[in-house]
Amino acid sequence: MSFNPEYLLKREFGIIRQTYTEKDCILYALGVGMGQDPLNEDCLRYVYEDGLKVLPSQSVVMAHPGFWAKEEDMGIDWVKVLHAGQEIIFHNPLPTAATVEATTRITEVADKGEKFGALITSDRLIKDVESGKDLCTSVTTILARGNGGYGGNRKSSAPKPYAIPTSEPDEVCDLSTLPQQALIYRLSGDYNPLHASPSVARNAGFNAPILHGLCTFGVMTHALVKTCCDYDSNRFKRMRLRFSAPVYPGETIRTEIWRNGKEIAFRCKSLEQDKIVINNGYLLID
């Protein structure tokens, strides 16, 4: 099927219901690199069932519709898809085990031209089935690099990028990733072969499988929970960011942090590439 933005905006995904357990929370935390130092008791709370906590970034895999860009009716050149941006609005603390449900909907398609691609935004409200409480709203933006230049509206209603201060950061947090990090992270539900298959990665223009953008997002969340919240994940209220470059498994991610009361600006860079990989980050804490 050819790429049709009007079809995407009307496309129904159906309700996704997912039951997750403490084991799933532990697997997710391991997938974003927590537990590398098994003697660090702050990190241990996220990978050990005694007093288990949930990383705020785990919400992105809850009631996830899967890699829908690959489905034939979408008309998307899925090999060239990159995760461009992410926002999460937290309504209530995330349980360590629950049945949740959500419906994904595509809210906007913007034509950024043949050179850059089509910017596609979707969102989903994740609810706890038993309590009926809204847990969080996840807003995802992908860049379909092979689908731009179709003659559509070039403007996007997405919020303007959050400005990063020009001063030196108040704090810096370096966290390493494992060579097999993407192979662990994908077990939480994102099976895009770009992150596992060397041949698919080469066809997409990369030297090797890259880390999931949302895995980099999880590493970044660990840095923010550690540096800004003393490992208290329930203090997160809202965060948004833009992905600016891919990370390869095994690289070290440096999170640079600027504080302004409860509002925090941040960005991340790959030390090995000396390149910004997450930019225009904004975090609101209580």
Q: Given a cut of 90, is residue 125 above it in pLDDT?
A: yes
204: domain CATH number is: 3.10.129.10
User: How much is the pLDDT for 151?
Assistant: 87
**16: phi then psi, degrees, rounded to nearest 5:** -105, 125
User: How much is the pLDDT for 146?
Assistant: 94
Q: Mean pLDDT over all residues of the chain?
A: 94
Q: Please give the model's pTM, rounded to 2 decimal places.
A: 0.90
Helix, strand, or coil here: 141?
Answer: strand
Helices (H), the chain: 5-10, 22-31, 41-44, 181-185, 198-203, 213-229
Q: Given a cut of 80, is residue 247 above it in pLDDT?
A: yes
- The DSSP element (H or E) to which 35 belongs, if any, is none
Q: Given a cut of 90, is residue 110 above it in pLDDT?
A: yes
The two tokens of residue 184 are: 């662990």
- 101 is in which domain, residue-wise? 5-285
User: How much is the pLDDT for 79?
Assistant: 86
Q: pLDDT tens digits, residue range 143-171? A: 999 999 998 877 777 777 889 999 999 99
Q: What is the mean pLDDT of residues 77-97?
A: 93
**CA–CA distance, 198 with 193 (Å, rounded to integer):** 9
Q: What is the mean pLDDT of residues 23-52?
A: 96
DSSP bridge partners of 269: 254, 276
The two tokens of residue 223 are: 């840095």
What total of structural domains would you count in the chain? Answer: 1
DSSP letter at 233 equals G
The two tokens of residue 85 are: 């941006």
Q: Which residues are catalytic?
A: 190, 195, 210, 213
Could you identify the residue written with the tokens 């997710």? 28
**CA–CA distance, 222 with 216 (Å, rounded to integer):** 10
DSSP bridge partners of 255: 173, 268
Q: pLDDT tens digits, residue range 182-234? A: 999 999 988 889 999 999 999 989 999 999 999 999 999 999 999 999 999 99
User: How much is the pLDDT for 23?
Assistant: 97
Q: Given a cut of 80, is residue 112 above it in pLDDT?
A: yes
For the chain, the farthest-separated pair of C-alpha atoms sits apart, in whole angstroms, at 56
DSSP letter at 165 equals P
pLDDT interval class at 107 (50, 70, 90): very high
User: How much is the pLDDT for 46?
Assistant: 98
* Share above pLDDT 70 across residues of the chain, in percent, rounded to a whole number: 100
Distances (CA, A) of 159 to 139, 141, 205, 222, 279: 12, 12, 30, 24, 14
Dihedral angle computed from the Cα positions of residues 19, 25, 27 and 30, in that order, rounded to the nearest 10 degrees: 160
- Asked which of 60-69, 110-119, 156-165 is least confident by mean pLDDT, the reply is 156-165
pLDDT interval class at 21 (50, 70, 90): very high
**CA–CA distance, 3 with 73 (Å, rounded to integer):** 9
Nearest to 122 by CA among 12, 281, 215: 12
